[in-house]
Amino acid sequence: MIKSPVPSELEPRSGEMTTAPMAVPWKQLLLTALESNAHLKHSSFLQLATIGCNGRPSNRTVVFRGFEESSDKIQINTDSRTRKIEELKRCSYAEICWYFTDSWEQFRISGLVDIIDGSSSDPAKVEQRHRSWFASSVRSRMQYLGPNPGLPALTEHPHQELVLDPSSGPVAAFCLLVLDPNEVDYLNLKTSERVMFTTSTSVSGEKCWNSEKINP
């Protein structure tokens, strides 16, 4: 169990900012929180906030689908027909909020969201979408065969006649969101510690993570 919100070799002095060109210190904190709260089913649920088309906040609960391979990018599955897709196409900035009830830790992670749907022609993104589809349960995949989300319900049992071949690839409505974080606000209520992680670009053009202790 990590005792400090920042690994010791990266821990800044009070009021001092440090830079970690290669490490992603907040990611290990999040992985530790996920592991220590794994016995709670809701530990994989988080809130995703976007900017509504009317300029107002728009929020909903989504499921964490893991990190993009060898990166700190967060993956979320969704229906391409939902309102959040239209909102993200207008403004790709979003923020997620994650609270772990056993360890009393909160993560607020903001950044740009990449929408990977059936129209993507990038081979790497197409493969990534396929992997995410097959990583989901068949029951979860069935949701994407239903009527258009948000429209009036025309039947009381919209899923009763739906059939899905478990070996078939992603349906048209299946969409993968990839959040590329540029700021992480970490709060530990048990230790009253709060750390702000922000990004900068190194001389060589690499993404660097900076960490600074701030008041809770």
**Segments making up each domain of the chain, as ranges:** 23-152+161-192
Residue 39: C-alpha distances to residues 97, 127, 135 (Å) = 20, 31, 20
All residues at 6 or more sequence positions from 176 whose CB lies less than 8 Å from its CB, including other chains: 65, 75, 76, 77, 78, 115, 116, 117, 128, 129, 132
The CATH class given to the 23-152+161-192 domain equals mainly beta
Percent of the chain with pLDDT over 70: 87
Closest alpha carbon to 214 in 97, 112, 108: 108
Average pLDDT over residues 23-33: 93
User: Residue 27 above 60 pLDDT?
Assistant: yes
pLDDT tens string 29-84: 999 999 999 999 999 999 999 999 999 999 999 999 999 998 999 999 999 999 99
pLDDT tens string 115-146: 999 999 999 999 999 999 999 999 999 999 99
* Position 165, amino acid: D
Beta-strand relationship, 74-79 and 57-67? antiparallel
User: pLDDT-based confidence at 157, cuts 50/70/90?
Assistant: low
All residues at 6 or more sequence positions from 107 whose CB lies less than 8 Å from its CB, including other chains: 26, 29, 30, 33, 96, 97, 98, 99, 184, 185, 186
> What's residue 195's pLDDT?
98
The model's pTM: 0.85
Mean pLDDT estimate for the chain: 89
User: Residue 20 above 60 pLDDT?
Assistant: no
CB 149 within 8 A of CB 78: no
Percent of the chain with pLDDT over 90: 77
